[in-house]
Structure 1
Amino acid sequence: MGRAGNGRKACALGVAGVLAGTVLVGCGDDDDGTGDGARSSSAQGNAQDGGTQAVRSAYDRTAEEDTAKVRLHVRTSAKGASETANGQGAVDLDDGDSVMTLTVQRQRIEQRVVDQVLYQKMPKGQAPGGKPWIKIDLGKVSAQQGAGDRSMSDPAQSAAYAKAITDEDVTEKGTAPIDGVETTRYRVSVDVAKLPGADTLRQQVGPTLPMDVWLDEEGRMRRQRIDMTLKAAPGSTERSSTDASSAPQKVTVRTVMDFTDFGTEVEADAPPAGQVTDMTGKALEQGRKQG
């Protein structure tokens, strides 16, 4: 498969990782115009304390809604080429199950996450094994990364990540409407050393993960923006015979995820086993190479 095909796969799996909660990554340091006004040190400290508490409880407050509709935009860039993917669907915030339709280069990919297993129905003729669906056991992949059996598919683990931040890790960045709902934006920095699978994560993304979240008046997350730069080890991706560089390849992924319509119905069912090709082994092999 050519460069466009590889980018398509990267986009789709990037979206899946976010939905299933198996990857906790951070937003970039660029500002998008939502600035801070001048504050006294006392006022800034009080606001920072309040923001820390808001972010620490955001995942719990969001998960308490049980379900939500999700809208995604993902942009993946590597070697000067980029791919974009858009998606919409619904997610069970309690157990991580989800249903999603992705659009990548004008092609549709149907996606489901059921009991920590990712299923994707690829465009006709692109799925391996002559079957319409592929699957990846996200529990096995996260276990290989040292993140335990449930990893980030458990909302309680997501909350633990947010609660691990210190007061200095949170900065309020102003307010903005998201789908007509007034929100407050916070920028958060998380120490990778405190996360499950820290050794692998540190090699791939560095020592810290900055993350931006937009919270509504009830403290629920309405938007999460993620910018991640992954470092792939030499030999983990295909190289041409003329490419003598031994430097790690960098892949950047920006994901914007919006939550709306809390309480919506979610029905995520696994496709028939006879229509599925298991790609878990390939995913584990790739993980070993990157590690």
Structure 2
Amino acid sequence: MRAAYDKTAEAGSARMTIRMKLSADGKTVTSDGEGVIDLAEGDSVMTVGVQDKTLEQRVVDQVLYQKASGQKAPDGKPWIKIDLEKVAARQGLNNQQIGDPAQTAAYAKAITDEDVTKAGTEKIGGTSTTHYKVSVDVSKLPGGEQMSKRLGPTLPMQVWLDDEGRLRRQQVDMTVEAPASASATPDNGAAPQQLKMSTVMEFSDFGTDADAEAPPAGQVADMTDEALRGAQQQS
């Protein structure tokens, strides 16, 4: 099971789809993405639909670039960028919230030897797969120390492997307890906000071309500092 990610990465690249659902305070936001990913380098190119908006997204050398249809960055440039390495150094969980598909796929690297259960067989995109329920060692994930404070030591995950041991589908469902507000006290009964996140990734067409290039520098606004401030407010 722990070799599943390496076996998948041996293909070099793949076509992918991602479905994500975030729920908090009675509100739910969904997003659907499709594109290609370089499994060795972590670069990716995607088109993402979030509610009624469409995003063009690229990850190149650990930098996330996004362009939203009909919107521009504060300085009028069409693209924004966020340095994922800087964000991960501050709070690893935020990488998942931003939507770096390589970080999400890498959860499979941290599958433990315990709690592995075969859950049946299923065809995904015409390919026969075996479905397993597994546990992830949170401490082995990027930003694991910070993530463990909110998620606990392990995280349940489901994977579907083909006959070659490669990932065809990966599902992660997590519940994150956000820090209590400054006004929360035993007297007023205020409770920490709870965020539920479900992410499903599927892989196909292994070996497909996955060339990701950064947009021209003159068309990009750097929003890394804004992302870091958001991470600080959540910590």
State the TM-score, normalizing by the size of structure 1.
0.70
Residue 60 of structure 1 aligns with which residue? Answer: 6
Distance apart, 1:273 and its partner CA: 1.4
Q: SS where residue 267 of structure 1 aligns?
A: coil
SS of match in other structure, 1:130: coil
Higher strand share: 2
Match of 1:271 in 2: 215
Counterpart CA distance in 2 for 1:126 and 1:248 is: 34
**1:211-290 correspondence to structure 2 within 5 Å:** 211-235=157-181, 246-290=190-234
> Is 1:98–2:44 an aligned residue pair?
yes
CA distance in 2, matches of 1:107, 1:71: 17
Q: Show the counterpart of 1:23.
A: none
Specify the code of the residue in structure 2 equivalent to 1:218: E
Instruction: Give me the whole-angstrom Cα distance separating, in 1, the residues matched to 2:210 and 2:76.
Output: 29
Cα distance in structure 2, aligned partners of 1:74 and 1:160: 20
Whole-angstrom distance in 2 between the partners of 1:103 and 1:196 = 26
The match for 1:110 among 56, 76, 81 is 56
Q: How far apart are the structure 2 equivalents of 1:73 and 1:118?
A: 18
Q: Is the 8 A contact 1:116 1:153 kept in 2?
A: no
In structure 1, the residue corresponding to 2:75 is in which secondary structure?
helix
- In the alignment, the residues of structure 2 paired with residue 282 and residue 154 of structure 1 have an alpha-carbon distance, to the nearest angstrom, of 21
1:80 aligns with 2:29: no
Q: Number of matched residues?
A: 224
The residue identity in structure 2 corresponding to 1:268 is A
Judged with a 3 Å threshold, the aligned counterparts in structure 2 of structure 1 residues 76 and 119 are, in CA distance, closer, same or farther, namely: same
Corresponding residue number in structure 1 for 2:131? 185
Q: Secondary structure at the match of 1:271?
A: coil
Residues 30-41 of structure 1 mapped to structure 2, 5 A cutoff:
none
Contact 1:203 1:231 in 2 (8 A): no
Which residue number in structure 2 is paired with residue 12 of structure 1? Answer: none
Q: Does 1:171 align with 2:117?
A: yes
Report the RMSD for the aligned CA atoms in angstroms.
2.6
Match of 2:96 in 1: none
- The superposition leaves residues 161-195 of structure 1 with CA deviations (integer Å, 9 ceiling, x where unpaired) of 23xx12x3211111000000000011111233454
For residues 254-274 of structure 1, give each alpha carbon's deviation from its aligned partner in whole angstroms, at most 9, with x where no partner exists: 111100000101121111112
Report if aligned partners of 1:169, 1:190 keep a CA contact under 8 Å in 2.
Answer: no
Describe the superposition over 1:203-231 as per-residue Cα deviations: whole angstroms up to 9, x where unpaired.
22223211110000000000001112222
What is the CA–CA distance in structure 2 between the aligned matches of 1:153 and 1:223, rounded to whole Å?
14
1:136 maps to 82
Give 1 or 2: higher helix fraction. 1
For 1:190 and 1:171, the matched residues in 2 are separated by: 13
Aligned equivalents of 1:225 and 1:72: distance in 2?
10
Partner secondary structure for residue 269 of structure 1? coil
Aligned to 2:110: 161
The offset of 1:136, in angstroms, is 0.7
Question: How far does the alpha carbon of each residue in 1:141-166 deviate from its partner, in whole angstroms, 9 at most, with x for none?
Answer: 1122379xxxx9589x766523xx12
Shift of 1:65: 0.1
Alignment pair present for 1:125 and 2:71? yes
Structure 1 or 2, whichever has the larger Rg, is 1
Listed as ranges, the gaps of 5+ residues in structure 1 are 1-54
Aligned counterparts of 1:92 and 1:84: Cα–Cα separation in 2: 24
| 1:205 corresponding residue in structure 2 | 151
**Alpha-carbon shift at residue 66 of structure 1 (Å):** 0.2
Q: Which runs of 5+ in 2 are unaligned?
A: 94-100
Q: Name the CA distance, whole Å, in 2 between partners of 1:257 and 1:153.
A: 10
TM-score by length of 2: 0.86
